[in-house]
Amino acid sequence: MPPLPHINRRTFLRNLRRSGLFSPAQLAHARELLPMTDRGRLVARALVEQGLLTRFQAERVLVGRTDGFLLDQYVILEELGRGGMGRVYKARHRTMGRLVALKVLAPELTRTERARAMFLREVRAVAQLAHPNLVAAFDANLVADRYYLVLEFVDGPNLEQLLRASGPLAVGQACDFVRQAASGLQCAHKAGMVHRDIKPANLLVQRRANDGAPALVKVSDFGLARLQEADDEPAGTILMRPNTVMGTPDFLSPEQARSLHNTDTRTDLYSLGCTLYFLLSGQVPFPGGTSIEKLIRHNTEEPTPLEKRRPDVPPPVAAVVRKLMAKKPDDRLQTAAELVRALEPFSVSGSTPWDSLSGSGDNLPDLATPPPEEGTDPVLRAGAGLADPPTLVSGDASADLPTLVPPPRRPGWGRRIVWGGLMVGALLALAVAYGAFLAG
């Protein structure tokens, strides 16, 4: 990755002034704290170390990006992640100062009237959920044809990141994490909501001090999975775009693989079973192969017994995993509350070591990672400057809203979705029929 271009002190401070990050008085005060150097990168590093800029902001000012830090009432501090659902940013409310996770949805998720109506219905339902094991939803809005959600900011890793960093979890900790997730799901299920995309990446662990306080797991992305079915294509297919499926194939229930519409709360329990299998063994139930092959295996095969991959797992815990991952919903545990009770005897609540996962990125060691090119980041193509830096108060609260430019759409998308869906359905039907033939 190419290094950031050289920039001198004067140019950097000019860009900073134009960005609207600081008022003239604040910028004058910041100048007094800067080292006597002509290198703009060292000036940026000093501002980051003093908490006056985030690394995200500093990198963009260094390359001349002087707008795009404001979305409605929220100051964008850094990018947390991106994926098929959109992009997630850490942000701060300009007036309240509250840190939030701001999710800007991919434009195709709300491109039809039906999808937009479903979005509004889902977020209103999610807003009514209140449980310590569910990520809270604070706000939702539309800016320049792009919807965004404002969610509780969870300052910690998701379970996929935690496992990748530390390896398979202790049995008691894995059981406790899944027990907490099930407790949150029980609240949502009672309200008539099904998640449909439960996976380790959607289970966040609240960062706590290493003082013995139990780690807190929160289920995220409630209400977003169904947006992928709100398309103007024929219903009943899980294939949403080339080579991708609705949900995550490694954790998808057999019935959801066949049809998104014929699912109930027990599909989330199957996905929790796959998640517990992953946390204990370090492997997904059906590793290897394509997405379609994984879907077929969820319908026709049994995974390698958990006991073979993790011999120290107590037999009752392995039995819970098998029951959760039963092919037929009627053969599983029927409610999340049942799962909570089943895991309680084996759950060990405790603090989680964060040292190996720490690193906020705000130390700005080299500023060697350039920001996206102009036009690649929908939020950064903006028409407004950042209202507040993390520790200073801005003077202009009436800046224009950003212009969010969606990426160009490829032609022929609808036909590929329809044919892809037919292929998936045909393959699943053949696999199920073959399984029935062998059984007979």
Please pick, among 176, 197, 221, 231, the residue that the annotation labels catalytic: 197
Kindly report the CATH number assigned to the domain that includes residue 106.
3.30.200.20
Residue 8 has pLDDT above 70, yes or no: yes
Q: Are residues 56 and 191 in the same domain?
A: no
Last residue of a domain, which of 312, 333, 353? 353
When mean pLDDT is compared over 11-15, 59-63, 310-314, the highest value belongs to 310-314
Q: Of the residues 327, 353, 379, which one is the last residue of a structural domain? A: 353
Is residue 421 a part of any domain in this protein? Answer: no
Give the end of a domain, one of 329, 353, 377: 353
Mean pLDDT of 8-34: 83
* Residue 437 located in a structural domain: no
Return all residues near 248 (Cβ < 8 A) that are at least 6 apart.
197, 199, 201
pLDDT at 365: 37
Task: Specify the higher pLDDT residue, 26 or 89.
Answer: 89
Query: Is 412 a member of any domain?
Result: no
Q: Does residue 223 share a domain with residue 99?
A: no
Residue 434 belongs to some domain of the structure: no
pLDDT at 158 over 80: yes
Cα gap 318→373, rounded to integer Å:
48
Q: Are residues 70 and 217 in the same domain?
A: no
Residue 84 pLDDT? 67
Same domain? 270 vs 137: no
pLDDT (0 to 100) of residue 399: 30
Please report whether residue 420 resides in a domain.
no
390 and 340 together in one domain: no
Q: Clarify whether residues 174 and 47 are in a common domain.
A: no
pLDDT more than 70, % of the chain:
70
Q: Are residues 212 and 97 in the same domain?
A: no
User: Domain holding 264: CATH number?
Assistant: 1.10.510.10
Q: What residues have CB less than 8 Å from 217, skipping those under 6 apart?
A: 133, 159, 177, 180, 181, 184, 203, 204, 205, 206
Residues 398, 303 share a domain: no
423 located within any domain: no
pTM of the model: 0.72
- Same domain for 277 and 165? yes
Residues 147 and 175 in one domain: no
Verify whether residue 331 is a known catalytic residue. Answer: no
Strands 86-93 vs 74-83: parallel, antiparallel or unpaired: antiparallel
Domain assignment present for residue 70? The answer is yes
Please indicate, yes or no, whether residues 120 and 163 belong to a single structural domain of this protein.
Answer: no
* Contact in structure between 48 and 55 (CB atoms under 8 Å): yes
**Domain span holding position 59:** 1-155+365-407
In the chain, the number of structural domains is 2
Does 280 lie in the same domain as 230? yes
**Residue 50: Cβ within 10 Å count:** 12
Residue 427 domain flag: no
Stretch among 115-129, 233-247, 264-278 having the lowest mean pLDDT: 233-247
Lowest mean pLDDT: which of 4-8, 156-160, 333-337, 345-349? 4-8
Question: Which pLDDT belongs to residue 52?
Answer: 87
Asked if 370 contacts 2 with a C-beta cutoff of 8 angstroms, the reply is yes
CA distance 278 to 138: 31
pLDDT of residue 242: 33
Residue 38 has pLDDT above 90, yes or no: no
Residue 2 has pLDDT above 60, yes or no: no
